[in-house]
């Protein structure tokens, strides 16, 4: 896997899709504590995508709590 902008955007979208599907933030398929750079890269940007989707959902409904599918 190349660690480039295309992969970064794909991981962001993967995280956003996971939020839309109701997956919790700890459902990330990548290991941020791995010695493997690809796993760390995947975890960082998947989580950023999930958090961006979560934040956008909260901004749309500020009075109601946004459920992360729990």
Q: Return the H-helix or E-strand segment holding 40.
A: helix 37-60
Which distant-in-sequence residues (6+ apart) come within 8 Å of 8 by Cβ? 45
| Structure confidence by residue, pLDDT tens digits, 23-64 | 998 999 999 999 999 999 999 999 999 999 999 988 887 665
**Token couple for 59:** 């901004």
Cβ 50 vs Cβ 15: under 8 Å: yes
Global pTM?
0.81
* pLDDT score recorded for residue 9: 93
d(CA 5, CA 62): 32
């Amino acid at each position: 896997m190349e660690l480039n902008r295309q992969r970064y955007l794909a991981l962001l979208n993967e995280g956003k899709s996971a939020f839309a599907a109701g997956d919790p933030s700890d459902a990330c398929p990548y290991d941020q504590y791995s010695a493997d750079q690809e796993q760390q890269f995947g975890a960082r940007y998947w989580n950023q995508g999930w958090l961006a989707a979560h934040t956008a959902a909260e901004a749309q409904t500020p009075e109601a709590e946004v459920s992360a599918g729990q």
